[in-house]
Amino acid sequence: MEKQCLDCGQKIIGRADKKFCDDQCRSNYNNRLRAEDQTTIKKINHILLKNRKILNELNPEGKVKVTKSKMEKAGFNFAYFTHIYETAKGAQYKFCYEFGYLPIENDYFLVVKSNDI
Ligand SMILES: [Zn+2]
């Protein structure tokens, strides 16, 4: 079976398990993968840090009730958070770093700050 280099796409000559023409192609390929990983990580970090900034700005006193639409308007992304904290009663706070939010009644969220995580 004819095999192609994973980097440049050229036909590979040699051992059956060879994936690249040479070391240059191998390192090109690995560098590209690493760069793509870094881009993904940066994108996610950016979203999480933005969420944290929004929660921080909405919550200057350490605890506040906020509407969902106010959070959305500020650009909060509900799909991203760092961890979940579940209380003994089963309420689940989602956290972005030290700021947590819990859905309460009528489209409101309770936003809290907790440094012991
Ligand atoms: Zn190649």
- Using one digit for the tens of pLDDT, what is the confidence trace for 45-92? 999 999 999 999 999 899 999 999 999 999 999 999 999 999 999 999
Give me the residue label for tokens 């881009």.
39
Ligand 1 centroid to Cα of residue 57, in Å, is 51
Query: What's the whole-model pTM score?
Result: 0.79
pLDDT (mean) for 85-102: 96
* Dist. CA 30 → ligand 1 center (Å): 12
Distance (angstroms) between ligand 1 centre and the Cα of 23 equals 9
Q: Which residues contact 28 (CB under 8 A, 6 or more apart)?
A: 7, 8
The pLDDT score that the predictor gives to residue 15 is 86
Over residues 6-53, the pLDDT tens digits come to: 999 999 988 889 999 999 999 999 999 999 999 999 999 999 999 999
Q: Are 80 and 47 in contact (CB under 8 A)?
A: yes
Q: Rounded to the nearest 10 degrees, how much is the dihedral formed by the CA atoms of 41, 42, 47, 48?
A: 70
Distance (Å, rounded) from C-alpha 80 to C-alpha 32? Answer: 26
Distance, CA of 117 to CA of 104 (rounded, Å): 22
**What one-character DSSP code corresponds to residue 30?**
H
* 1 has pLDDT over 80: no
d(CA 59, CA 62): 6
Q: How far is the CA of 1 from the centre of ligand 1 (A)?
A: 17
Contact (CB, 8 A) for 30 and 24: no
